[in-house]
């Protein structure tokens, strides 16, 4: 795959979309069906021809692009935005550490392969697939430190189905964060190349407005 600025923006938007949906799920037990399916499918596409193919197109990441633009544009202050940013930073950090652990990457590859077979038999968002992906998150990412501490409503976080969805969305965020690095993204670029990333993200978002 190419390593253009647009590719990096798409991957980073994927991280933001995951973080946004994790926050929503943790507080309400709900998230947009299409947006969460986009992220689950991104885990199951292992040999894409392009970054956009991972997500089924640019338009499916509209929510993530909006979150990325808000953050790069200097948006801050409100608790939900700060919570989302905390998840994004944690996902980028853990994805970087994960790639140095060949043993965990091998477990991930095998687990994703099995989940793909399950998704073909059931559907990508079937409860069995989500449970398998959540378990895969626990076997791999959860073994790294610091672990991501998800904030939310106790009643929501205590429900196994919600826990599975939150872990699956976090795993999708890790997938996007790995893709960010594979496309040439580095954390220092969020500061040094912030304006260029912001412009690229705005161009991508504008493109979704004309997609029919």
Tell me what the mean pLDDT of segment 55-72 comes to: 96
Share of the chain above pLDDT 90, in %: 87
Share of the chain above pLDDT 70, in %: 96
> DSSP states of 28-96 as a string?
HS---HHHHHHHHHHHH--S-SSHHHHHTSSGGGHHHHHHHHHHHTT---SHHHHHHHHHHHHHHHHHH
State the pLDDT at residue 170. Answer: 99
* CATH at 183: 1.10.3890.10
Note the pTM of the prediction, 2 decimals: 0.95
Cβ atoms of 119 and 46 within 8 Å: the answer is no
Tell me what the mean pLDDT of segment 57-68 comes to: 96
| Mean pLDDT across the chain | 94
The Cα–Cα gap between 83 and 23 comes to 7
State the pLDDT at residue 212. Answer: 45
Tell me what the mean pLDDT of segment 67-90 comes to: 86
Cβ atoms of 190 and 38 within 8 Å: the answer is no
pLDDT tens digit string along 104-143?
A: 999 999 999 999 999 999 999 999 999 999 999 999 999 9
In this model, does residue 78 exceed pLDDT 90?
no
Confidence of residue 191 (pLDDT cuts 50, 70, 90): confident
State the pLDDT at residue 210. Answer: 60
User: How far does the chain reach from its first CA to its final CA, in angstroms?
Assistant: 25
What are the structure tokens assigned to 48, written together?
A: 């894409």
Q: Helix (H, G, I), strand (E, B), or coil: what is residue 47? A: coil
Tell me what the mean pLDDT of segment 89-94 comes to: 97
Confidence of residue 208 (pLDDT cuts 50, 70, 90): confident
pLDDT tens digit string along 17-50?
A: 999 999 999 999 999 999 999 999 999 999 999 9
In this model, does residue 202 exceed pLDDT 90?
yes
The total of other beta-carbon atoms located within 10 Å of residue 26's CB is 22
Confidence of residue 60 (pLDDT cuts 50, 70, 90): very high
What are the structure tokens assigned to 111, written together?
A: 């687990």
- Nearest residue to 14 via CA among 50, 64, 49: 64
Query: Residue 35: which domain range?
Result: 5-209
What is the number of structural domains in the chain?
1
Confidence of residue 77 (pLDDT cuts 50, 70, 90): low
């Amino acid at each position: 795959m190419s390593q253009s600025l647009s590719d990096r923006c798409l991957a980073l938007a994927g991280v933001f979309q995951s973080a946004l949906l994790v926050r929503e799920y943790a507080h309400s037990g709900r998230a947009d069906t299409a947006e969460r399916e986009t992220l689950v499918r991104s885990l199951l596409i292992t040999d894409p021809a392009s970054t956009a193919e991972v997500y089924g197109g640019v338009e499916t990441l509209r929510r993530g692009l909006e979150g990325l633009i808000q953050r790069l544009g200097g948006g801050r202050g409100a608790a939900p935005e700060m919570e989302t940013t905390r998840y994004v930073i944690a996902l980028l950090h853990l994805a970087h550490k994960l790639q140095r652990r060949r043993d965990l990457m091998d477990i991930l590859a095998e687990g994703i392969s099995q989940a793909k077979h399950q998704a073909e038999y059931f559907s990508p968002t079937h409860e069995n697939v989500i449970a398998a992906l959540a378990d895969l998150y626990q076997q791999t990412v959860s073994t790294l430190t610091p672990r991501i501490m998800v904030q939310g409503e106790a009643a929501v976080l205590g429900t196994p189905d919600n826990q599975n969805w939150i872990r699956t969305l976090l795993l999708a965020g890790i997938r996007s964060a790995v893709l960010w690095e594979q496309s040439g993204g580095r954390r220092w670029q969020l500061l040094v190349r912030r304006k260029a990333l912001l412009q690229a993200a705005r161009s991508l978002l504008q493109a979704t407005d004309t997609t029919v």
